[in-house]
Amino acid sequence: MAVNKLADLQLHNKRVLIRADLNVPLDGTKITNDLRIRASLPTIEFALERGAGVFLVSHLGRPKLGSNNDHLSLEPVAERLRTLLNRPVELIRDWQSGLDIDAGEIKLLENIRFHSGETENDRDLSRSLASLCDIYVNDAFGTAHRAHASTHGVANYVTDACAGLLLESEIDALERALANPKRPLVAVLGGSKISGKLEVLHNLKRVADTLLVGGGMANTFLLAAGKNVGKSLVESELIDDAKVIRRSAQLPLPVDVMTSETIDLRSHAFLRLADEIPSHEAIVDIGPETARRYAKTIADAGTVIWNGPMGIFEYPQFAEGTRAVADAIANTVAFTLAGGGDTVAAIEQFDISERIDYISTGGGAFLEFIEGKPLPGVEALKSDA
């Protein structure tokens, strides 16, 4: 995908506005995970080292208009940036009347979603953001699927708009996995429902050599194949879709599963054949034989895309299927690409991040790219736009 790139632009003495994804989890005013901040550092440092003055813009949470949103201030983010960058980072609350900045300075605009025009892609807000800069940089892949003022609208009012280093690496990794993958391409998909990933499944069945499914979405495929799934979470209204996908894809079903009568820390997991699930039990994980078969397919892959766990991995007794698949993905020689909140949580839980080739910072954007949908935040940066 031909997008304008930060490295191709002259940054010295330029005002650079970087749309970063600094939407970090907070416990009060304490950041509990600063992964997104650290992922944004290379682009910020690149611009500063080349003599730019940097304005940072990001959202945090979902502020409610007319409410007291002090708990969603970016001040904790500014403080963390000061530590990581070892330089002053000023948080600016009133910036719409214009701001000055010197080369080597960095200023963080207060939560952009405090402005109602952000999610509405308002022209006036877009122009106000554009007036701050000579160069606009989108480095927020996690919000690139939203046509908001800071991710899309602002690009219409600047001379130079480009992708930051993080966004560029996200696009490169996704295109490597989807546009010209080393074969076989294996897609590992889990999570609770098919409905949220229906278009992902339809697109991947056209490009992937094998689809491996787990989690709640596998239950609907089992039900569509005539299996009794007991009390398991299913989407009966999508049985026809599940049948269509299976007819046109290599999609092996789980042959064994783990079940439970209840779902809590004290619950016991039972190993069942997929044909012998009691009516009073629910599927909570893939079984060991299914995990072995999935691991063999992954080991033989040339490219692996992973989105979603194989079971309710937050509970130790229901985590072994996800652990086995995660280990297989970590150990394969294939190019591995993982994305999505639960997937990243599983990667952290099983401590395999160093063995995954690329971990996407996007959730919805990651899925929409796989669906084949254009991402507004990326489209605005195309070199032919």
The arrangement of strands across the sheet holding 106-109 comes to: 90-92, 106-109, 53-57, 15-19, 135-138, 160-163
- Judge whether 257 and 274 are in contact, CB under 8 Å: yes
CB atoms within 10 A of CB 9: 18
Torsion of CA 275, 278, 282, 287, to 10 degrees: -40
Residue 312: left if φ>0, alpha if ψ -120 to 50, beta else—which one? beta
Question: Buried (b) or exposed (e) across 252-267, using 16+ Cβ within 10 A?
Answer: eebebbbbbeeeeeeb
Handedness of CA 179, 181, 184, 188 (dihedral sign): negative
CB atoms within 10 A of CB 168: 22
Residues with catalytic roles: 36, 193, 341, 364
Please state, in angstroms and rounded to a whole number, the distance separating the CA atoms of residues 297 and 303: 11
C-alpha distance from residue 108 to each of 30, 56, 91, 170 (Å): 18, 5, 5, 23
